[in-house]
Chains A and B, each alone.
Chain A
Amino acid sequence: GAGVSQSPSNKVTEKGKDVELRCDPISGHTALYWYRQSLGQGLEFLIYFQGNSAPDKSGLPSDRFSAERTGGSVSTLTIQRTQQEDSAVYLCASSLGGGVDTQYFGPGTRLTVL
């Protein structure tokens, strides 16, 4: 079946611009996660959704970062006024119900801020 998909696969933007990154989880998965992978770093948790609610936003690095999920499905991560330190691969994962359920990752969006 279809896995987690993300778009765009690559995004190059100028410092100060806003960007939107999209995640389409596996159908039926209620839990959705965003992680960030910077060069030479492991994955860093950003936010967790259960349905359309985000009970854990503890990993969002600043108020320039926000995310929403609609219809219990698609999620969008928005970064406002991008900075060079925002350059990273943004990965989305979904799982059946959260908790110990296996997280399936998408291929990521590679963001480059010039």
Chain B
Amino acid sequence: QKEVEQDPGPLSVPEGAIVSLNCTYSNSAFQYFMWYRQYSRKGPELLMYTYSSGNKEDGRFTAQVDKSSKYISLFIRDSQPSDSATYLCAMSDLWSSGNTGKLIFGQGTTLQVKP
């Protein structure tokens, strides 16, 4: 079993829909949780970053972390065709990794927003 599980999709939604993307994980030592967006043939770019449990909002994006359930989510409101991309969750355990910051990624969910 992988440390981080993410449904690969694809997920197809109409423009304007609310999108929910999720990851589960097994390592309770993870403290830092990130969402990256990756367009086709490009490198991932950081979207959201959360430390420990709680919510974080940035414009149309909201990240949620529930450490008790080992579950993280990314919500996209008023989705746009330009949001069509692969969304990767990533996690880090700084203490056991020796503060390297190495990231453990989910498989990525491919999202298509149709006009």
Contact = CB atoms under 8 A, between A and B. Distances in A.
Given A33-B103, A42-B4, A100-B92, 12 more contacts: A4-B43, A31-B101, A40-B8, A40-B107, A44-B105, A56-B100, A59-B102, A91-B44, A95-B101, A100-B94, A105-B43, A107-B41
A40 B2 CA distance: 14
B57 interface: no
Contacts of A102: 46, 49
Contacts of B41: 107
Contact of A55 (B42, B49, B98, B106): B98
Interface of B: 4, 6, 8, 32, 36, 41-46, 49, 51, 88, 90, 92, 94, 97-108
A99 B99 contact: yes
Contacts of B102: 33, 45, 48, 56, 59
Interface string A76-114: 000000000000000101010011111111111000000
Contacts of A91: 43-44
A41 B107 contact: yes
A12 interface: no
Nearest to A58: B102
Contacts of B88: 42-43
Interface residues of A, number: 29
A43 B99 CA distance: 19
11 contacts: A33-B102, A33-B103, A35-B105, A42-B105, A42-B108, A44-B105, A45-B103, A99-B101, A102-B49, A103-B101, A108-B43
Interface in A26-52: 31, 33, 35, 40-45, 48, 50
A105 B45 CA distance: 7
A104 B92 CA distance: 15
